[in-house]
């Protein structure tokens, strides 16, 4: 067998193995996920102690616990809080992306638990890019160029970045939003390139982040514009439905 030079280069697995070979390892006891390690955040507005569902699931899986009530009892006892004060939070992206997380949340709700959804962070690159194209749609409609805004929106939804990022307005909008959170020019380019690379793989996480961003922006448009947002929200819903079809799941706006 002849090995091509490119086959002799380090693969991602080789690189990871090289790092691990030089790493210092914890003992089994040191690496266990103890119940006191599950973060609990007091929320005075809601009057409860919040546990992220993602952390709750990680703890249960790491310890081979299949009964949620038992896992919760351990966590509460270790942190010295009453179970009756506990509610759960879950990232909206997690539910959209992961059917098993969806099932877990439904199970908690069926058991009578309070579960609050956390929207996507507005500094997330998916949100920043989605907001830039929604802004473009609004401006285009005001200037009597609605079809132009719709074309940009369709390009973004379908990950046609050659069209979407060819508009100076879009690039300036993205950079301006990132600069407001003190993201340097180089960091901006790195974030943009990383996002484009992820989108090229059509990952569920990227699609879920776009759906979550669209849902949040639709809700904001309704609150700000009232009935004047109906046309915009209808188009956003079309985008959500298209993205939902890629995940094989139906979604609607808030």
What is the tens place of the pLDDT at every residue in 88-140? 999 999 999 999 999 999 999 999 999 999 999 998 999 999 999 999 999 99
pLDDT at 3: 41
Asked if residue 183 has pLDDT above 70, the reply is: no
Alpha carbon 44 to its chain's center: 25
**pTM, rounded to two decimals:** 0.82
Dist CA 169 CA 71 (whole Å): 50
pLDDT at 23: 80
Q: 216-226 burial, b for 16+ CB within 10 Å, e for fewer?
A: bbbbebbeeee
Average pLDDT of the residues in 57-73: 94
Q: Among positive and negative, which fits the CA dihedral 175, 177, 180, 183? A: negative
Number of Cβ within a 10 Å radius of residue 48: 19
Annotated domain spans of the chain: 35-118, 125-246
Residue of 154, 234, 244, 235 whose CA lies nearest to 208: 244
Tokens of 198: 């992820």
Average pLDDT of the residues in 57-78: 95
pLDDT digits (tens, 9 = 90+) for 196-227: 887 877 789 999 999 999 999 999 999 998 88
């Amino acid at each position: 067998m002849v090995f091509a030079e490119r086959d002799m280069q380090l693969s991602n697995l080789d690189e990871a193995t090289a790092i691990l070979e030089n790493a210092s390892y914890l003992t089994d006891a040191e690496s266990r996920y103890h119940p006191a390690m599950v973060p609990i955040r007091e929320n005075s507005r809601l009057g409860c102690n919040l546990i992220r569902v993602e952390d709750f699931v990680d703890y249960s899986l790491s310890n081979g616990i299949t009964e949620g009530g038992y896992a919760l009892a351990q966590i509460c006892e270790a942190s010295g809080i009453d179970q009756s004060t506990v509610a759960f939070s879950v990232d909206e992206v997690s539910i959209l992306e992961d059917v098993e997380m969806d099932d877990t949340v439904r199970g908690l709700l069926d058991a009578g638990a309070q579960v609050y959804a956390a929207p996507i962070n507005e500094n997330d690159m998916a949100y920043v890019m989605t907001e830039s194209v929604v802004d473009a749609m609004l401006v285009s409609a005001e200037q009597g160029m609605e079809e132009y805004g719709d074309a940009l929106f369709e390009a973004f939804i379908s990950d046609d970045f050659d069209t979407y990022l060819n508009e100076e307005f879009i690039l300036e909008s993205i950079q301006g939003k990132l600069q407001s959170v003190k993201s340097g020019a180089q960091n901006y380019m790195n974030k943009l390139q990383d996002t484009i690379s992820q989108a090229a793989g059509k990952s569920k996480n990227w699609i879920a982040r776009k759906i979550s961003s669209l849902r949040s922006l639709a809700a904001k448009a309704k609150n700000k514009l009232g009935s004047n947002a109906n046309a915009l929200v209808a188009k956003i819903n079309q985008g959500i439905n298209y993205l939902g079809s890629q995940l094989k799941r139906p979604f609607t706006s808030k």
